[in-house]
Amino acid sequence: MSLKRHLPNKGRVVDVCEADFDQRVIQASQQQPVLVDFWAEWCSPCLVLAPILERVICEWPQAIQLAKLEVDDNMRVAGKYKIRGFPSVLLFIQGQEIARFASAKSAHWIEAFLTEHLQTVNSG
């Protein structure tokens, strides 16, 4: 099951599952950063965060992908990345997790998070 899209996503927001996680997240992050939203249908903070994440990603000036992974149907992936609370959001670059945060955040907070971690990678 998938959350309804709140904005035209310009191809930047995709649903992923265990079967395509390596291709659509790990391999894709070799070309551009991929932010993964580990969410659950029953999780109220997840439902609050989803449209905020989508808006930030769709308006972000640089190429970045948002991959949405519903945890109840993809427990092995959530376990592999030691996801303990929902929502959890992980940032992958060059096939590696470089940062994460948990719980609902404001658009401003997410923009600051991305700016900090993308600048670190671009300058390193």
What pLDDT, in 10s, does the model give residues 52-100? 999 999 999 989 999 999 999 999 999 999 999 999 999 999 999 999 9
- Per DSSP, the residues of 33-100 read -EEEEEE-TT-HHHHHHHHHHHHHHHH-SS--EEEEEEGGG-HHHHHHTT--SSSEEEEEETTEEEEE
The residue annotated as part of the active site, out of 36, 46, 50, 69, is 46
- CATH superfamily of domain region 13-123: Glutaredoxin (3.40.30.10)
Can you give the pTM of this predicted structure? 0.89
The residue annotated as part of the active site, out of 43, 56, 64, 104, is 43
pLDDT of 123: 56
Determine if the peptide bond prior to 87 is cis (ω within 30°): yes
Q: Is 46 a catalytic residue?
A: yes
**Model confidence at 30: pLDDT above 70:** yes
Q: Is 43 a catalytic residue?
A: yes
- The better pLDDT of the pair 6, 117 is held by 117
